[in-house]
Chain A
Amino acid sequence: MIESRALTKLFKDKKRGEIRAVDKVSFVCKPGQIYGLLGANGAGKTTTLRMLATILEPSDGTAIVCGNDVIEEPQKVRANVGFLSAATALYPRLSSQEMVEYFGRLNGLDEAILKKRIDDIFGRLGMNSFRDRRCDKLSTGMKQKTSIARTLIHDPQVMIFDEPTLGLDIMTARTIIDFIRECRQRGKTVIFSTHVMSEVERLCDTIGIIQSGKLLAEGSLAELREQYKENDLEEIFVKIVAPLQKNEEVA
């Protein structure tokens, strides 16, 4: 379970002064559900997810992840979270197996459990043919599978995906989408950010629309269609985001 409570992040910029990247964002993601954070580039999606993964510390507000406060107990939060983004790369000089082993050990798994989990995950994801190959020699699809294995090794209850399909070809993106669905089936709490409408339509139980760091709307796809009297998600998105964008341009 994730409970975001008025999560806020301020950045200082020499030219632009103080930037409110995330502004009092509150929402709840429940186990066995997928929460989609939909927003344009620079809307505050990545910063929100980084705060939930305790990579960044909130300037104000907080979030509770699996019963642990992201400010008070960041290490406990990370022990329960699997974080995957387009920016989470692999160590080029480690093999696929060594990469996953490293993260298993960092998560405190003992060697016997680690070996069992690796055999299980590598078998399930069809990774045995390249388990000893160095990460810099892997194809994009193999790299993504290794990243998935890395996030799964400690069997986290919460999965955070930050634009996980960004820049991937259709087949590799499909692997990721299938993996996100599988996480839901296994009862994990899943949150993922994207600006691809079709991904949200296909996957999400709840959608949160974010712009300029503010969560502007939230609900299931059916609820949003009902509320904004539009069938197409893109139209709904524009309807919600456009007024704020206009105001910002005037300002």
Chain B
Amino acid sequence: MSLQNIGIVYRKELREALRDRRTLISSLLVPLVLFPLLTAGLGAAISVLMGQAKEEIYKVMIIGGEDSPRLVDDLRQLKTIQIMPLAQTWKDQIVDKTIRAAIEIPVGFESDLSAEKSVTLKIYDYEGDLKSSLASGLIKEHLEGYREGVVKASLYLKNISPETLKPFEVEKQNVAPPEKVGGAAFGGVIGYMVILLCLTGCMYPAMDLTAGEKERGTMETILSSPISRTHLVLGKFFLVLTTSLVTAALSVTSMGVSFWVLERFHAFDKMGSDAAQLQLSIGLKQVLSIFIMVLPLAVLFSAGVMTVSLFAKSYKEAQSYITPLMFVVIIPAVSAMLPIDLTAKLALVPILNASLLCKELVVNTYHWNYIAIIFFSTCVYAAAALFLAVKMFQREDVLFRS
């Protein structure tokens, strides 16, 4: 094994990569811009939009209610809604988003209440539309309050204490620290993003150094030099691995910095209560652990993408092979966002294991037994992929496929 020859190939490939705009964009720009945008940008945007939606005064219509003036008056007191004159087209107006909801008060509602008959109030909304759902939620909450008032008045008249209906309280309390709450909610997304960027970081150079080299006709040039094919593929592989790791490192660092900046400027507090679950403190320890776990995965991706790309005759053909491969990576990486807990069996499933582990590492949870299984199993998969890539470079039918 001549490290010198591998180094010569590596340095040359690095020089070319640094002069290639597409590699620079996929390996440097995307991870540096994506995370700040996702965290600060998207997070803030969601909070602002949610805040705006909540501050809006919703237009609603009341169907009926002529014989129930007290309820209608009570609804008019509600500051978050504006009662509009009833129109026959109220259903269409909800769908057209001209109004957000409608309340149907049945005939004789108040007299039935006095007679202690059970009656039903209906709220009509546009299911799936955020503002309509918020409006109907507000109305429902208000009507439930109104019902409680009616019940209390009735119990008072009968000399029964309201506590009779509520002999005990049920209270739910979170014991997890705020950063763990945020981690549980967003840890899966972070694992997914890091894994995906690790793949996208190595994709372009891997295709360029194999199929691209075939397409440009430089493969025959390099094969006519005295370097052995093993040294050649290793030199290329280390460059692809470098870009993958640089992308992963930048994405993890940019993620850490983004959350630190948000925390430092108390941006979460300013975003309102909904942003509280965004509170995620990612320290140096977590960044380093995620990076170490991503290392063998980067080897697996680099060698895997190089092997697949080498089959292709051109860069375009390589892209058509790699696109389905992306789904193979995305599906297990996304699965970590589902309520799945890491188990010994899942620790052996490539990509999914790393993704689930990222979720744990983000919230400072270290299951060392799983970490060991995941690290070593991924190392084995990575070694197998690298071995395959080296073997592929020895095959004439692959190198000179026509």
A residues near B (Cβ < 8 Å) are: 12, 53, 55-57, 75-76, 78-79, 81, 83, 85, 87-94, 98, 102-103, 105-108, 134, 150
Contact B396 A103 (CB under 8 A): no
Q: Which of B9, B216, B218, B228 has the most CB of A within 10 A?
A: B218
Q: How large is the interface on B (under 10, 10 to 19, 20 to 34, 35 or more residues)?
A: 20 to 34
Contact A56 B226 (CB under 8 A): no
Give Cα A79–Cα B224 distance, bound, in whole angstroms.
9
Contact B227 A106 (CB under 8 A): yes
Known: A55-B224, A56-B396, A106-B9. 4 other contacts (CB 8 A): A53-B224, A89-B217, A94-B16, A102-B8
Q: Which residues of A are found within 8 Å of B104, using beta-carbon distances?
A: none
Chain A, Cβ-Cβ closest to B13? A91
Q: Which residues of B are found within 8 Å of A81, using beta-carbon distances?
A: 224
Q: Which residues of A are found within 8 Å of B5, using beta-carbon distances?
A: 106
Number of residue pairs spanning A and B whose beta carbons lie under 8 angstroms apart: 62
Contact A150 B400 (CB under 8 A): no
Main secondary structure on B side of the interface with A? helix
Chain A, Cβ-Cβ closest to B227? A106
Q: A88-B217, A106-B5 are in contact. Are A55 and B15 (CB under 8 A)?
A: no
Looking at the assembled complex, report how far the CB atom of A95 sits from the nearest CB atom of chain B, in whole angstroms: 10
Give Cα A85–Cα B224 distance, bound, in whole angstroms.
11
B220 at the interface (CB under 8 A from A): yes
Looking at the assembled complex, report how far the CB atom of B178 sits from the nearest CB atom of chain A, in whole angstroms: 49
Contact A93 B223 (CB under 8 A): no
Give Cα A78–Cα B227 distance, bound, in whole angstroms.
9
Contact B220 A106 (CB under 8 A): no
Q: Which residues of B are found within 8 Å of A87, using beta-carbon distances?
A: 217, 220
Looking at the assembled complex, report how far the CB atom of A148 sits from the nearest CB atom of chain B, in whole angstroms: 13
Q: Which residues of B are found within 8 Å of A78, using beta-carbon distances?
A: 224-226
Chain A, Cβ-Cβ closest to B228? A75
Q: A56-B396, A88-B224 are in contact. Are A93 and B16 (CB under 8 A)?
A: yes
Q: Which of A57, A75, A93 contacts B19 (CB 8 A)?
A: A93
Give Cα A215–Cα B225 distance, bound, in whole angstroms.
27
Proximity string of chain B (391-402) to chain A, C-beta cutoff 8 Å, 1 when within and 0 when not: 000001100100
Contact A107 B223 (CB under 8 A): no
Looking at the assembled complex, report how far the CB atom of B236 sits from the nearest CB atom of chain A, in whole angstroms: 13
Looking at the assembled complex, report how far the CB atom of B225 sits from the nearest CB atom of chain A, in whole angstroms: 4
Q: Which of A79, A88, A98 contacts B221 (CB 8 A)?
A: A88
Contact A91 B16 (CB under 8 A): yes
B112 at the interface (CB under 8 A from A): no
Q: A107-B225, A108-B226 are in contact. Are A85 and B220 (CB under 8 A)?
A: yes
- Would you list the 8 A-B pairs with minimal beta carbon distance, nearest first? A89-B217, A83-B224, A88-B221, A78-B226, A79-B226, A106-B225, A93-B16, A93-B19
